[in-house]
Structure 1
Amino acid sequence: MLSLPESLRSALKEPFGPVRTDADSLLAEAGDPLIAVGDIVTYHLLEAGRPPDVSLIDERTERSAVDAGIRERIVEDEGWFEYRVQVDNPAGTVTAALLGALVEALDRDEPSTIVVVDGEEDLATLPAMVVAPPGASVVYGQPGEGMVHVAVDTETSERARSILSRMDGDHARAWKLLGV
């Protein structure tokens, strides 16, 4: 549905919020719902005792398979998430399936959903910031640095929407799926 052109990659280098290395300090500031994008981020939040309301993972970190212990903790431990959804989302894209799974997870009264992506989940951060309610937190990994905590507000939502609008693809369909 949407794909990231090479010319837009630099717009994603700058973090959308503060970078944290300590999950407890991040969680002290986190809003509700809590959305995690990435396996390592999800793992650290679980280890800190706070399962994300919605987690999007691809069982990879920095282009390599995650450690078996991390995978077991976030994917195979049935106690963390009430719902499990599998979607296809190739690298550098945002598919209708990914958007649908994200919106559906956030629409649940008690989200507790893990979205397992076949492909890559990195760009899910952008639609998560667009569709999450004000006061929510989106947390994603900044390679080699830590976890980025985005407190969702009008400014962050508009910045994410601006980047999505500059991606190649069917924007009208994306906005319809996101309900914006």
Structure 2
Amino acid sequence: MKHCWNGHLRNTNNSNFLRFPSFQFQKTLRTFPNRMLPNFLTLWTFVEHDIIIFMKTCFLPKELRPELRKIWGIPLFNGEKEVLKKFQQFTKKRRFKKIITVGDYCSLTLPSDIKIFDGKIKRKKIKKLAKFSLSCSNPAGTIKKGVWPIIKKAIKNKENVFVDGEEDLLVIPAVLLSSNKTAVVYGLPDKGVCLIEVSPRVKKTFKELLNQFHIE
């Protein structure tokens, strides 16, 4: 398939996106009855000047796991009290538009606008949960297509999300769906947390990372 409504559909083993500038998307949308998109265009969102439409579920390949274990962003280590102190100092200085925490440790320890968590710390269930108004299902090693609109809604309305399954990889959609000057924070077991400041450069890195996932 070479062209699709003024956009370019890339459909390879490592990528499954439809991308075109926002003004083309608005023009394209008007061509559909009642502005309803076809079923396979399950999600659209503005990411810088492009629109990314995710069509399928993404699976983490084994060879990419070491890459995801790297420290992404700014590390805040040295114990819970020190982590909180550094976090408060840094966020006050940077004046982020929104703060998103991914994981139970971060969500229970740090103040944030949006919390994404699965009720487990180090794979063990915990009794104390943050309050939430949204929920989704997401198996380990996966980013399900149904997760994207839930996280998009959470970011827009500043709502918390409970994940039935595992939330580790949801740092990726949290970054891609956020506006610039958003902080996305995730935990590193026995170390502390990492803070990712969303920017065009960071989004480009995460899109390239996601392109290496298996798409089904």
Short-chain TM bin: 0.7 to 0.9
TM-score (norm 1): 0.79
1:9 is the counterpart of 2:65: yes
Aligned counterpart, 1:127? 173
- Which protein is richer in helix relative to its size? 1
Contact in 2 for aligned 1:137/1:149 (Cα 8 Å): yes
Provide the aligned length of Structure 1 versus Structure 2. 151
Q: Please point out which of 75, 84, 92 is paired with 2:133.
A: 84
- Matched to 2:212, the amino acid is R
Contact in 1 for aligned 2:134/2:154 (Cα 8 Å): no
1:34 is the counterpart of 2:111: no
Counterparts of 1:32 and 1:141, CA distance in 2: 21
- Matched to 2:59, the amino acid is S
1:54 is the counterpart of 2:129: no
Contact in 1 for aligned 2:101/2:185 (Cα 8 Å): yes
Q: Write the mapping of 1:127-146 to structure 2, written as runs, cut at 5 A.
A: 127-146=173-192
- Matched to 1:122, the amino acid is D
* 1:69-100, Cα deviation, whole Å (9 max, x unpaired): xx14x24xxxxxxx611110000000122111
- Which protein is richer in strand relative to its size? 2
Counterparts of 2:107 and 2:85, CA distance in 1: 13
Contact in 1 for aligned 2:135/2:161 (Cα 8 Å): yes
Structure showing greater radius of gyration is 2
Q: Please point out which of 119, 140, 153 is paired with 1:104.
A: 153
- Matched to 2:76, the amino acid is R
**2:97 is paired with a residue of what secondary structure?**
coil
Is there any run of 5+ residues in structure 1 with no aligned partner, and where?
A: 76-82, 171-180
Is there any run of 5+ residues in structure 2 with no aligned partner, and where?
A: 1-56, 78-82
Counterparts of 2:121 and 2:207, CA distance in 1: 25
Shift of 1:163: 1.2
Aligned counterpart, 2:123? 63
Shift of 1:29: 2.0
Shift of 1:24: 2.9
**2:146 is paired with a residue of what secondary structure?**
helix
Shift of 1:128: 1.0
1:168 is the counterpart of 2:214: yes
Structure of greater relative contact order (alpha carbons < 8 Å, 6+ residues apart):
1
Contact in 2 for aligned 1:16/1:156 (Cα 8 Å): no
Matched residues, percent identical?
25
- Matched to 1:26, the amino acid is F
Contact in 1 for aligned 2:117/2:162 (Cα 8 Å): yes
TM-score (norm 2): 0.66
CA RMSD of superposed structures (Å): 1.4
Shift of 1:143: 1.6
